[in-house]
A and B are shown apart, each in its own frame.
Chain A
């Protein structure tokens, strides 16, 4: 068990009149090596949740365990947690500050107190993992394209060699191709290194193709926590809270209503093609 949250609560603006329960009795277990999608609309508590996992926010009550240690214990090393649980913020390119990409990526490992050799080797490794073209290593990070900037920023967190990587809306503001490239790169990383990955998003379609499990947050509570196909079967409830299932879910339900024998729980385009072809084939008419 890598991360366990037990009855975690968090309140924004605690003593003011506008106190908001940002996390409401959240209990979760994130095992090693899982690829998890955390979905919710703006203000649902998803960003607050992930900031607890690396100790940037402290729960008002409840406990968080990382690899069997309570992170709120007095002698627990918060700095160690932050290197083990890497957090890539939304629009992470806004944190770039060094004169070239490579130095920026070295910032994290140097902060960990590693010597130059080790820090630089880690930076090379991280840049390679995010697929940054080598000719850009020594360019100013501010001159890169949007997608490349984001890669550089993600590499900056990867260079800390985290066991868990959390990405808060890593595709926000990218164009479709850029979005697919980043997501594919993350998936590849997860497959190759078996790293635990938490992907925060408000787009079901984006995560459906990649994740093993989806946690739906609403008003600070965990609303659903299951494999994608189970979560999407609640598409009507999801719509009520301002989220939508992937378009294929709607297509398959519309076909089912028209008498087709399709599997409505297919979540990706590929699966949908299979089940639609199957249904048509069974009717023996089309092919």
Chain B
């Protein structure tokens, strides 16, 4: 069994009118089953309101399923006694960099998780140091978080989760509020977690450039998994992605447009180099 597994997961919430009367139910996640293996890099795509964030919050036991089951490292998330173990094993990074930093000094914030877990003082310092080094923020350890850029704040948040020694990290649109530079910093840090530390990563985003390195991609739409596959398989279905309110990297789009004009190119081109090489190779052949 994988490190994260969901079976027929359904999450419904109650809509209420102004007087608090029940108006109806909204199904945010609808019969989702997935199985993530340890060490995988998973990306979940979807437009705003597709249910991807709701799904993510189940992995950290912040939300409990209305129906179905979620297991993290073999533990059922709806069982009260597992909650803290699950939260330690599946760390979570949220969207807004300002609203998840608790400490007034970078190093104190990174130490917050281990403090809560009751880690001895000396070990907290070791964990803080290695986590900050892993995201390249060690030299900022004495800084106030208020003085950092968005990308730096998110890296501090990642370090804060890393210091809890999790087996997997769920990142819920960590780059949505950042500029391109900050986005690059965060994506690089996330890739390093997966490559170097071997931590299972679940990255939720709507930026397509960020999922190129994922092992598997799930695309969500109205609470269901609408597409599943490798980045290449996903990107080869340009029209379907556009239907799901997502866009594709400009290079993939250009390749697709050229294909439509009769140019022979492989499906699901992901990088600039790939496209240039494919066009050059095609040219040689003739």
Contact = CB atoms under 8 A, between A and B. Distances in A.
Instruction: State yes or no: do A and B touch (Cβ within 8 Å).
Output: yes
Interface of A: 41-43, 145-147, 172-178, 180, 202-203, 205, 242-244, 246-248, 250-251, 254-255, 257-260, 269, 272-273, 276-277, 280, 283, 285-287
Contact of A247 (B179, B206, B250, B286): B250
Nearest to B176: A173
A140 to B, nearest CB: 9
A258 B276 contact: yes
A88 to B, nearest CB: 17
B245 interface: yes
B237 to A, nearest CB: 15
Interface string B173-196: 000110111100000000000000
Contacts of A173: 176-177
A175 B283 contact: no
Contacts of A257: 276
Interface string B268-281: 00001101110110
Nearest to A204: B180
Given A258-B276, A286-B282, 4 more contacts: A176-B206, A177-B245, A251-B275, A286-B264
B261 A277 contact: yes
A277 B283 CA distance: 12
Contacts of A147: 48
Contact of B263 (A172, A242, A243, A286): A286
Which interface class (under 10, 10 to 19, 20 to 34, 35 or more) fits B?
A: 35 or more
Given A277-B258, A283-B283, A175 B275 contact: no
Contact of B48 (A175, A276, A285): A175
7 contacts: A145-B48, A146-B48, A175-B48, A176-B247, A247-B250, A248-B251, A269-B253
A242 B262 CA distance: 37
Sorted nearest first, the 8 A-B pairs with minimum C-beta distance are A177-B245, A254-B276, A247-B250, A285-B286, A176-B247, A175-B47, A242-B181, A258-B280
B74 interface: no
**SS class, residues of chain B in contact with chain A:** helix
Contacts of A258: 276-277, 279-280
Contacts of A273: 254, 257-258, 261
A246 B177 contact: no
A243 B180 contact: yes
A248 B180 contact: no
Contacts of A283: 283
B272 A254 contact: yes
Nearest to B260: A273
Given A177-B47, A247-B251, A269-B253, A42 B206 contact: no
B96 to A, nearest CB: 10
Contacts, number: 105
Contacts of B181: 41-42, 242
A174 B251 CA distance: 22
B149 interface: yes
B58 to A, nearest CB: 21
Nearest to B244: A177
B145 interface: no
Contacts of B251: 247-248, 251
B182 A42 contact: yes
Contacts of B276: 251, 254-255, 257-258
B249 interface: yes
A272 B149 contact: no
Nearest to A201: B179
Contacts of B245: 175-178
A285 B286 CA distance: 6
Interface string B238-256: 0000000111011101100
Interface string B126-138: 0000000000000
A176 B254 CA distance: 17
A249 B17 CA distance: 51
Nearest to B246: A176
B272 A247 contact: yes
A286 B229 CA distance: 31
Given A145-B49, A175-B47, A286 B250 contact: no
Contacts of A285: 283, 286
Contacts of B279: 255, 258, 260, 276, 280
Contact of B254 (A43, A269, A286, A287): A269
Contact of B179 (A41, A174, A272): A41
B272 A280 contact: no
Contact of B180 (A178, A244, A276): A244
B150 interface: yes
Given A41-B179, A277-B258, A280-B283, A247 B246 contact: no
A51 to B, nearest CB: 18
Contacts of A286: 262-264, 282-283, 286
